[in-house]
């Protein structure tokens, strides 16, 4: 590439990066400011004081919220990996009556917007007594058509001979699934794992419905609470909360961006 | 999504061995059972239940009086629902095309192989790691009429201060702008993935032929990218119909219902006004909109999309 073209490309890239990253940078910057600096409309803090970070843990039980979010995201991640991989395995390696029909059912779940069913789902969780518990926050999300399709896509690349060989060797189907298929599909499982952790950490509407106690809330609802209660007084503290909440997922995304991009495109297109 | 075709049919010779067949049948269903039960309880049952409830007067305890189509008549004639439909359609129009164009632009920029491009790719996909709640709180501050950055810029340029989120003329635009930003990371990641899947030989041939960048874009990149674009358009449409978090945090559906998009309206009727019948009727309408949209896009997409 000629130099002039290269320079102009870098210029455009840098400008775009500044615009796109500005809100995140702004949040970091404000999280270090005291009240006066925020009101003065400064872009950069005068010092990197951690006061806001200490204070946000006093204002709301953020540690509990973080723990709740972490535990529910981890449970959903494991649940989705298990349930989806079992189903994907059946679709790829087994032939039986009714399989195509079930496949159609899986596809049709993708056309039912989750928000259209939230009222009866809420009633179900309530009648099961699962409000304010990890059960209500996790179990409804274990089955995932998208995850099943993504894994199915990868399982299809595993040579059928491997399966036939295992049958000749007399290995049970489940052991074949557990000891052969899952280990060789590690990268797809990691991709789906990252995706499901991200989406569940960031979930908003469902935890808003099924939790109403401080001990059960997740961080996203904690942010809403923080914002409603601190809004007029202290943006610095609110932004410190924001930074704490986005840091884990940003790091996860930075680490897994390549895998995620590959996996999402595969699951989506092919 | 369209690959039900490549499912192999059950081979006929197996049906001659009924016992083994039955075993395979049971075992197959066993692997699918967790998904089937969960989909049954949390997707299909509530969908039918929603349709059922939409014919009743109901609260959070359940239905108490059958009213036929009255809920539908009521919402279709109510001003509130009409403003909600208008807000939803406008919101979709503001966010989907702009979001996809932005993501496409960024993806094309970062599809060049130059030093340090990895950093830009990571930065541009970063909003995918941002939750709706966190992003909304940040944007709320940016829209703050006295200290937010938008007012600063307006002031600096000599424009009058705008109450972005309190002005019915601007609130939906403001929420849309923040949404475009929030969704950019995901769309970007998908489109970049699509670009990288394009066979590089095509570009080498184009280079030999010495065609311009725009010609290459129009004749190679966009046609080869069309399955990806088709996918991201469908997903973006569906996503924007389902928007909730940013509305709840930024505007609560106001001012004067200018941002009362459909999901927020369902939420408000069901959980604040305790009118589950009306909420269910709206949910059914949402369901059919999404269904229609998906079907329509498949029908249109099938013809125009270029598959490798």
Tell me how close the Cα of A75 comes to any Cα of chain B, in angstroms.
15
Q: Confirm if A107 and B2 have CB atoms less than 8 A apart.
A: no
In a domain, B56, yes or no: no
Tell me: do B24 and B165 sit in the same domain: no
Tell me: do B172 and B254 sit in the same domain: yes
Q: Confirm if B102 and B184 have CB atoms less than 8 A apart.
A: yes
Contacting residues of B for A90, CB less than 8 Å apart: 28, 31-32
Q: What is the pLDDT of residue B134?
A: 95
Q: What is the pLDDT of residue A97?
A: 82
Nearest chain A residue (CA) to B269: A119
Q: What is the pLDDT of residue B12?
A: 47
CB-based contact, A166 to chain B, within 8 Å: no
> Helix, strand or coil for residue B56?
strand
Q: What is the pLDDT of residue A258?
A: 83
Distance CA A47, CA B177 (A): 31
CB-based contact, A44 to chain B, within 8 Å: no
> How many structural domains is chain B composed of?
2
Tell me how close the Cα of A209 comes to any Cα of chain B, in angstroms.
8
Distance CA B276, CA B36 (A): 27
In a domain, B169, yes or no: yes
H/E stretch holding A46 reads none
Q: At what angle do helices A62-93 and A51-59 cross, to 10 degrees?
A: 80
Spans of chain A, pLDDT less than 50: 270
Tell me: do B213 and B275 sit in the same domain: yes
Tell me how close the Cα of A68 comes to any Cα of chain B, in angstroms.
16
Residue B92 per-residue DSSP state: H
Q: What is the pLDDT of residue A121?
A: 95
Distance CA A73, CA A92 (A): 28
Tell me: do B22 and B83 sit in the same domain: no
| Closest CB to A20 among B42, B44, B123 | B123
Tell me: do B244 and B279 sit in the same domain: yes
CB-based contact, A38 to chain B, within 8 Å: yes
Does A264 contact B190 at a Cβ distance shorter than 8 Å? Answer: yes
What CATH number does residue B263 fall under? 1.10.3720.10
| Closest CB to A115 among B28, B140, B266 | B266
Tell me: do B242 and B207 sit in the same domain: yes
Does A86 contact B38 at a Cβ distance shorter than 8 Å? Answer: no
Distance CA B237, CA A76 (A): 26
Find how far residue A110's CA is from the centre of its chain.
Answer: 18
- Residue range of the domain that includes B24: 14-50
Contacting residues of B for A107, CB less than 8 Å apart: 1, 4
Contacting residues of A for B36, CB less than 8 Å apart: 102, 105
pLDDT in tens for each of the 308 residues of chain B? Answer: 344 445 555 554 444 556 667 777 888 889 999 999 999 999 999 999 999 999 999 888 888 889 989 999 999 999 989 999 999 999 999 999 999 999 999 999 999 888 889 999 999 999 998 999 999 999 999 998 888 888 888 888 888 878 889 999 999 999 999 999 999 999 999 899 889 888 888 888 888 888 888 888 888 889 888 888 888 888 898 889 999 999 999 999 878 889 999 999 999 999 999 999 999 999 999 999 888 888 877 777 665 555 44
Which residues 173-192 in chain A show a CB within 8 A of chain B? 173
Task: Tell me which fold the domain A53-269 belongs to.
Answer: MetI-like fold (1.10.3720)
Using CB atoms within 10 A of its CB, is residue A79 exposed (0-12), middle (13-18) or buried (19+)? buried
In a domain, B167, yes or no: yes
Chain A to chain B Cβ contacts (< 8 Å): 291
Helices (H), chain A: 3-31, 35-39, 51-59, 62-93, 99-109, 118-127, 134-138, 145-155, 160-168, 173-176, 182-184, 186-201, 205-210, 219-230, 235-269
Best of B25, B31, B136 to mutate (most A CBs within 10 Å, chain A)? B31
Q: What number is the ipTM of this complex?
A: 0.90
Q: Confirm if A180 and A164 have CB atoms less than 8 A apart.
A: no
Q: How many residues does chain B have?
A: 308
Q: What is the pLDDT of residue B302?
A: 62
Tell me: do B108 and B252 sit in the same domain: yes
Contacting residues of A for B181, CB less than 8 Å apart: 20, 23
Tell me: do B151 and B194 sit in the same domain: yes
DSSP string, B118-147: HHHHHHHHGGGGS-HHHHHHHHHHHT-TTT
CB-based contact, A113 to chain B, within 8 Å: yes
> Helix, strand or coil for residue A128?
coil
Tell me: do B39 and B131 sit in the same domain: no
Nearest Cα neighbor of B240 from B186, B194, B303 is B186
> Helix, strand or coil for residue A49?
coil
Domain residue spans of chain A: 53-269
In a domain, B88, yes or no: yes
In a domain, B5, yes or no: no
Tell me how close the Cα of A254 comes to any Cα of chain B, in angstroms.
6
| Closest CB to B231 among A23, A102, A268 | A268
| Closest CB to A261 among B193, B245, B294 | B193
In a domain, B6, yes or no: no
The backbone region for B256, taken as left when phi is positive above 0, alpha when psi lies in -120 to 50, beta otherwise, is: left
Phi, psi (5° rounding) for residue B144?
A: -55, 125
In a domain, B136, yes or no: yes
Does A119 contact B50 at a Cβ distance shorter than 8 Å? Answer: yes
In a domain, B34, yes or no: yes
Tell me: do B30 and B173 sit in the same domain: no
Tell me: do B201 and B295 sit in the same domain: yes
Does B28 contact A6 at a Cβ distance shorter than 8 Å? Answer: no
Distance CA A124, CA A113 (A): 17
Nearest chain A residue (CA) to B26: A96
Tell me: do B102 and B18 sit in the same domain: no
| Closest CB to B190 among A235, A246, A265 | A265
Residues 6+ apart with CB under 8 A from B158: none
């Amino acid at each position: 590439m000629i130099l002039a073209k290269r320079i102009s490309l870098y210029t455009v890239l840098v400008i775009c990066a500044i615009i796109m990253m500005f809100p995140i940078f702004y949040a970091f910057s404000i999280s270090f400011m005291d009240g006066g600096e925020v009101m003065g409309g400064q872009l950069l803090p005068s010092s990197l004081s951690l006061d806001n970070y200490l204070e946000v843990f006093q204002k709301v039980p953020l540690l509990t919220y973080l723990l709740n979010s972490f535990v529910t995201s981890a449970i959903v991640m494991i649940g989705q990996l298990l349930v989806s991989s079992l189903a994907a395995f059946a679709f790829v390696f087994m032939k039986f009556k009714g399989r195509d029909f079930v496949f159609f059912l899986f596809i049709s779940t993708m056309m039912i917007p989750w928000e259209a069913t939230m009222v009866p789902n809420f009633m179900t969780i309530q009648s099961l007594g699962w409000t304010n518990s990890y059960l209500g926050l996790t179990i409804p999300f274990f089955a995932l058509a998208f995850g099943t399709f993504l894994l199915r896509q990868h399982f299809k690349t595993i040579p059928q001979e491997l399966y036939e060989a295992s049958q000749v060797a007399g290995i049970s189907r489940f052991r074949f699934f557990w000891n052969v298929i899952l280990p060789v599909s590690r990268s797809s499982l990691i991709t789906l794992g990252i995706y499901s952790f991200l989406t569940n950490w960031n979930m908003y509407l469902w935890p808003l419905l099924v939790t109403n106690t401080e001990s059960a809330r997740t961080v996203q609802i904690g942010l809403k609470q923080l914002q409603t209660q601190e809004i007029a007084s202290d943006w610095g503290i609110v932004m410190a909360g924001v930074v704490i909440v986005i840091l884990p997922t940003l790091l996860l995304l930075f680490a897994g961006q390549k895998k995620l991009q590959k996996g999402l495109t595969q699951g989506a297109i092919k | 999504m369209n690959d039900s075709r490549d499912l192999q049919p059950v081979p006929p010779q197996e049906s001659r061995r009924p016992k083994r067949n039955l075993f395979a049948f049971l075992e197959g269903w066993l692997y699918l059972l967790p998904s089937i039960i969960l989909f049954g309880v949390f997707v299909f049952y509530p969908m039918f239940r929603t349709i059922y409830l939409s014919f009743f007067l109901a609260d959070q305890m359940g239905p108490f009086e059958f009213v036929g189509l009255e809920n539908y008549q009521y919402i279709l004639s109510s001003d509130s629902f009409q403003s909600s439909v208008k807000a939803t359609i406008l919101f979709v129009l503001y966010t989907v095309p702009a979001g996809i164009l932005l993501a496409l632009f960024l993806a094309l920029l970062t599809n060049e192989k130059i030093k340090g491009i990895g950093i830009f790719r990571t930065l541009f996909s970063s909003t995918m790691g941002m939750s709706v709640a966190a992003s909304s709180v940040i944007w709320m501050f940016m829209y703050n009429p006295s200290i937010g950055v938008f007012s600063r810029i307006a002031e600096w340029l000599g424009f009058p201060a705008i109450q972005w989120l309190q002005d019915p003329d601007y609130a939906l635009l403001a929420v849309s702008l923040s949404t475009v930003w929030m969704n950019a990371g995901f769309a970007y990641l998908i489109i970049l993935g699509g670009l990288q899947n394009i066979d590089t030989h095509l570009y080498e041939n184009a280079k030999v032929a010495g065609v311009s960048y725009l010609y290459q874009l129009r004749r190679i990149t966009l046609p080869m990218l069309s399955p990806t674009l088709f996918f991201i358009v469908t997903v973006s449409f569906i996503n924007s119909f389902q928007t909730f978090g940013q509305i709840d945090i930024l505007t609560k559906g106001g001012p004067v219902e200018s941002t009362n998009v459909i999901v927020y309206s369902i939420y408000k009727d069901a959980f604040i006004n305790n009118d589950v019948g009306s909420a269910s009727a709206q949910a059914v309408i949402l369901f059919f909109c999404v269904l229609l949209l998906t079907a329509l896009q498949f029908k249109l997409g099938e013809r125009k999309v270029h598959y490798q």
